[in-house]
Amino acid sequence: MIIDMPTTNTAKVNAKIVELRQQGGAVALGRVLTLVIVTDDGEKTEEAIDAANEASREHPCRVIVVARGAREAAPRLDAQIRVGGDAGASEVVVLRIYGELVEHGETCVIPLLLPDAPVVAWWPSEAPEKPAEDPIGQLAHRRITDAATDPDPTRALEQRRLSYAEGDTDLAWTRLTQWRAYLAAALDLPPHEEVTGATVAGATDSPSTDLLAGWLAAYLKIPVRRVPPRKNAPGINSVVLERKSGAVELTRPDGKVGTLRQPGQPDRRVALARRNVKDCLVEELRRLDPDEIYEATLLEGLNRVNIGAEEPAAAPA
Amino acid sequence: MSTWQNPLRDPRDKRLPRIAGPCGLVIFGVTGDLSRKKLMPAIYDLANRGLLPPGFALTGFARREWENQDFAQVVYEAVKAHARTPFRQEVWDRLAEGIRFVQGTFDDDEAFDRLAETVRQLDEERGTGGNHAFYLSIPPAAFPVVCKQLARSGLAHQDGESWRRVVIEKPFGHDLESARELNQIVNEVFPEESVFRIDHYLGKETVQNILALRFANQLYEPIWNANYVDHVQITMAEDIGLGGRAGYYDGIGAARDVIQNHLLQLMAFTTIEDPVSFSPQSLRTERIKVLAATKPAQPFSETTARGQYTGGWQGGKKVPGLLEEEGFPPDSKTETFAAITLEVNTRRWAGVPFYLRTGKRLGRRVTEIAVMFKRAPHLPFDQTSTEELGQNAVVIRIQPDEGITIRFGSKVPGTTMEVRDVTMDFSYGRAFTESSPEAYERLILDVLLGEPSLFPVADEIERSWEILDPILEFWSQQGRPDPYAPGEWGPPSADKMLARTGRTWRHP
């Protein structure tokens, strides 16, 4: 069900939500968090809501979408409430704000936050320079940005590093989890030798590749080389970890299937497709405490990454 | 080796899943229902979640004349029909590369030699590293011969570097003696730490949540004892009958089929003392302790009830009674409903009766644990205002509609003071359950990881038979079970059993 409330205020929206709950039974009970999505009004708004609805199947939440419209218009708030089939397991409140109100989005959000539940802010496209100091960011326990959607992802990642505060996270980091899991699992097995060198290859504008290199640098305590991909492969391309008995290699030339190569063992292929936004969001909402690993990667790791120009010194695929 | 620490693993890194090390799974009885509806989909779902090791191998063993690709087709169809997570071609392709099939019967030496050869080849081609789990999805009568074959062909042999594990399903015997025999047969070939007994209830999120509810909260534990709890009802009801399952069920009955394993495990989780830690060892210690303290309440003629469903109308359909179901002899004494009373002789639970009931063709499919509290010692209202007030209750709903309900009294709006029961509900949510992992996923992954927390050990199985055996013996000397109509909540004797102490069964 979708209810449009043109030119309204948050008190009316709140009253409507309560009314809907009483009519339709316990729709709003059992929500575990409020997810605030901040975006410019447009096509991307719907994409973000879809992802949030999907994610709400695992994390029942109230979704508040702050869609910023034309700044030149007269100040106005148009609201839309979606419940039931149009909102997954969540209830969605879309707040379209115009004019001067665009600068004061948080004042519309505060009255609609769920009582005593954590708040997560998500900027699906461009994020503020300092998410933790943004008015909406300040309301949130956790702030999710996505460097990959920035017009200049490398600069965006650098900005995240400069402005890091506890509770920050970035979907470029979330996209790495599967890579990190396979690499960690590969090192779990004997021979338990020290890793002496590491090379990470990936698209030059892939912040995930940078973060993977940073993570390895932070935890292996060695300099890591970051090089361009072998061909024009998307995203992360390959990781090579040098050890005395030979290199552990995880390569993904086509963005879909990875190959794990270890000395003395047959090649193993793994499904390693690039993750979609919904999967990443589900993972992000699973934990709401500061991510120390991301922090170490960002603050300690990235500095130890050497940007190399040449092809990775890997054995031919 | 124990001093080595993986530099990429940080205990604070909650994102990294534990992926099983290189390994393969061999399933005996791949043509069975369980295998198609639960095991194969669960394996795909694990693969789809990225929790299986690269190079994972799945080998089927059965009598059918199949080639590898025929078996792969069967798995494919099972996955398409029953998997929980969306189908992704690239995940399936990787899984399919590791699918093998070995044709043979259990007494065929040559077939097991072929299986050993297949497994060895997988180590070479797929890098499974000599680590293999054998899932015996077969009748227990076949366990001895299969175990012997696994030992003879060297498949059960493990050295320091690699592991071999065996997974077995209920029934774990039909009384204490047969359970001991069975354990002995399996333990001759596999040491106890390599034996994983599947009780799929323990893989359910809601069951694990009992521990979180009790030990992570301050709210419940102070009242979780005989001072406040009046009694506990544990129910597992099914609305279906036993058509087509005579071969397995006749002579076994509801108590052996469900109470001995699922319900006693649920009771153990409800009653255990705080474990020292959540390590598998300390959880087991507590479970065994509480099972050892549990005794059936006497006399059995008053504390137990059993029933057998008759034909009639259920949910708008005419259904046959047990005696008319195909395969059951017309004088079958097999019970399809069983209710028993247990007492837990510990300081915490002394005097609190635990009522366990299970049955087929009951009102609806539901499993729940209801902890019923004593009434308030003094009610400062007059009699009429609390007429409709029942006992406070915490109900843990295991399935379906997983969640927790709390029942308490509340004032009815109006000018008079009138108190009536209301419920407060926590629900994992209809939608949430779609993406919460199936019990088999969790359990298969735990087998591959060698994580034994959620598997009952031989000791627990034997303790639970010790609890049940005296009741079964008493029943065997009685006549036929009491008849009950389909769609009802058991025979009248079940209601009488509680009425003797002024209690009633909850309507689940």
Does residue A164 sit within a domain? yes
Note whether B97 contacts A292, CB cutoff 8 Å: no
DSSP string, B133-188: EEEE-S-GGGHHHHHHHHHHTTTT---SS--EEEEEES---SSHHHHHHHHHHHHH
Q: Are residues A99 and A13 in the same domain?
A: yes
Of B4, B10, B93, B8, nearest in space to B44 by CA: B93
Q: Are residues A198 and A156 in the same domain?
A: no
Q: What integer pLDDT is reported at residue B396 of this predicted model? A: 92
**Least-confidence region, from A16-25, A128-137, B318-327, B369-378:** A16-25
Q: What integer pLDDT is reported at residue B371 of this predicted model? A: 96
Does residue A40 sit within a domain? yes
Does residue A210 sit within a domain? yes
Q: Are residues A154 and A199 in the same domain?
A: no
- Domain finish residue from A148, A170, A192: A170
**Least-confidence region, from A31-35, B258-262, B499-503:** A31-35
- B479 pLDDT exceeds 90? no
Note whether B19 contacts A185, CB cutoff 8 Å: yes
Is B86 part of the contact surface with chain A (CB cutoff 8 Å)? no
Q: What is the pLDDT along chain A (317 residues), one digit of tens a residue?
A: 888 999 988 889 888 888 887 776 544 456 778 999 999 888 888 888 888 888 877 777 889 999 998 888 899 999 999 887 776 667 889 999 999 998 888 898 999 998 888 899 999 988 999 999 999 999 999 999 999 998 999 999 999 999 999 999 999 999 999 999 999 988 888 788 899 999 999 988 899 999 999 999 999 999 899 998 877 777 899 999 999 999 999 999 887 888 999 888 888 888 888 888 988 998 898 888 899 999 999 999 998 888 875 544 444 43
Q: Are residues A52 and A189 in the same domain?
A: no
Q: B56: pLDDT confidence band, cut at 50, 70 and 90?
A: very high
Q: Are residues A163 and A19 in the same domain?
A: yes
Note whether B50 contacts A184, CB cutoff 8 Å: no
Q: What integer pLDDT is reported at residue A317 of this predicted model? A: 38
Of B39, B28, B22, B52, nearest in space to B134 by CA: B28
Note whether A58 contacts B50, CB cutoff 8 Å: no
pLDDT > 70: percent of chain B: 98
Q: What integer pLDDT is reported at residue B388 of this predicted model? A: 75
DSSP string, B293-362: TEEE-S-HHHH-EEEEE-SEEETTEEE--GGGSTTS-TT----SEEEEEEEE-STTTTT-EEEEEEESS-
Does residue A316 sit within a domain? no
Closest Cβ–Cβ partner in A57, A266, A271 for B94:
A271
Q: What integer pLDDT is reported at residue A29 of this predicted model? A: 56
Does residue A34 sit within a domain? yes
Closest Cβ–Cβ partner in B15, B47, B429 for A60:
B429
What residues contact residue B445 under an 8 Å CB cut-off, 6+ apart? B20, B46, B51
Q: Which residues pair with B482 in a beta bridge?
A: B307
Is B400 part of the contact surface with chain A (CB cutoff 8 Å)? no
Closest Cβ–Cβ partner in B54, B88, B161 for A260:
B54
- For B48, nearest residue in chain A (alpha carbons): A271
Q: Are residues A32 and A148 in the same domain?
A: yes
A positions 192-231 inside 8 Å of B (CB): 192, 195, 216, 219-221
Q: Is A77 helix (H, G, I), strand (E, B) or coil?
A: strand
Q: Which residues in chain B have Cβ-Cβ distances shorter than 8 Å to A183?
A: 8
- Domain finish residue from A170, A192, A208: A170
Q: Are residues A223 and A247 in the same domain?
A: yes
- Cis preceding-peptide flag for B17 (omega within 30 of 0): no
Does residue A244 sit within a domain? yes
Does residue A138 sit within a domain? yes
ipTM over 0.95: no
- B492 pLDDT exceeds 90? yes
Most A CBs within 10 A among B16, B18, B126, hence the mutation to make, goes to B16
Inter-residue contact A204 to A278 (CB < 8 Å): no
**Exposure of B237 in the CB half-sphere (CA atoms within 13 A):** 23
Chain A to chain B Cβ contacts (< 8 Å):
117
| Alpha carbon distance B274, B217 (integer Å) | 12
- Domain finish residue from A170, A197, A212: A170
Give how far A59 is from chain B: nearest CA, Å.
7
Q: Domain range for residue A209? A: 177-307
Q: What integer pLDDT is reported at residue A175 of this predicted model? A: 93
- B64 pLDDT exceeds 70? yes
- B431 pLDDT exceeds 50? no
Q: B508: pLDDT confidence band, cut at 50, 70 and 90?
A: confident
- Please give the structure tokens belonging to residue A119: 């708040």
Q: Are residues A183 and A166 in the same domain?
A: no
- B172 pLDDT exceeds 90? no
Q: Which residues pair with B318 in a beta bridge?
A: B313
Q: Rounded to 5 degrees, what angle do the CA atoms B356, B362, B365 make? A: 85
- For B121, nearest residue in chain A (alpha carbons): A266
Q: What integer pLDDT is reported at residue A315 of this predicted model? A: 42
Q: What integer pLDDT is reported at residue B139 of this predicted model? A: 84
Q: What integer pLDDT is reported at residue B258 of this predicted model? A: 92
pLDDT tens-digit profile of A228-283?
887 777 789 999 999 999 999 999 988 788 899 988 888 888 888 888 898 899 88
Q: What integer pLDDT is reported at residue A309 of this predicted model? A: 52
Inter-residue contact B170 to B252 (CB < 8 Å): no
**Count of all residues that appear for chain A in the document:** 317
- B302 pLDDT exceeds 90? yes
Q: Are residues A164 and A183 in the same domain?
A: no
Most B CBs within 10 A among A265, A283, A287, hence the mutation to make, goes to A265
Q: Is residue B378 annotated as involved in ligand binding?
A: no
Q: What integer pLDDT is reported at residue A24 of this predicted model? A: 67
What residues contact residue A26 under an 8 Å CB cut-off, 6+ apart? B425
Q: What integer pLDDT is reported at residue A120 of this predicted model? A: 94
For chain B, what is the mean pLDDT?
A: 89
Q: Are residues A149 and A242 in the same domain?
A: no
Q: Are residues A166 and A18 in the same domain?
A: yes
Q: Which residues in chain A have Cβ-Cβ distances shorter than 8 Å to B431?
A: 56-57, 60, 88-89
Q: Are residues A127 and A181 in the same domain?
A: no
Note whether B8 contacts A268, CB cutoff 8 Å: no
Does residue A312 sit within a domain? no
Q: What integer pLDDT is reported at residue A77 of this predicted model? A: 92
- Please give the structure tokens belonging to residue B335: 């019970």
Total structural domains within chain A: 2
Q: What integer pLDDT is reported at residue B387 of this predicted model? A: 76
Q: What integer pLDDT is reported at residue B437 of this predicted model? A: 73
| Alpha carbon distance B469, B460 (integer Å) | 14
pTM higher than the cut 0.90: no
Query: Which H, E and C letters describe A81-117, residue by residue?
Result: EECHHHHCCCEEEEEEEEHHHHHHHHHHHHHHCCCCC
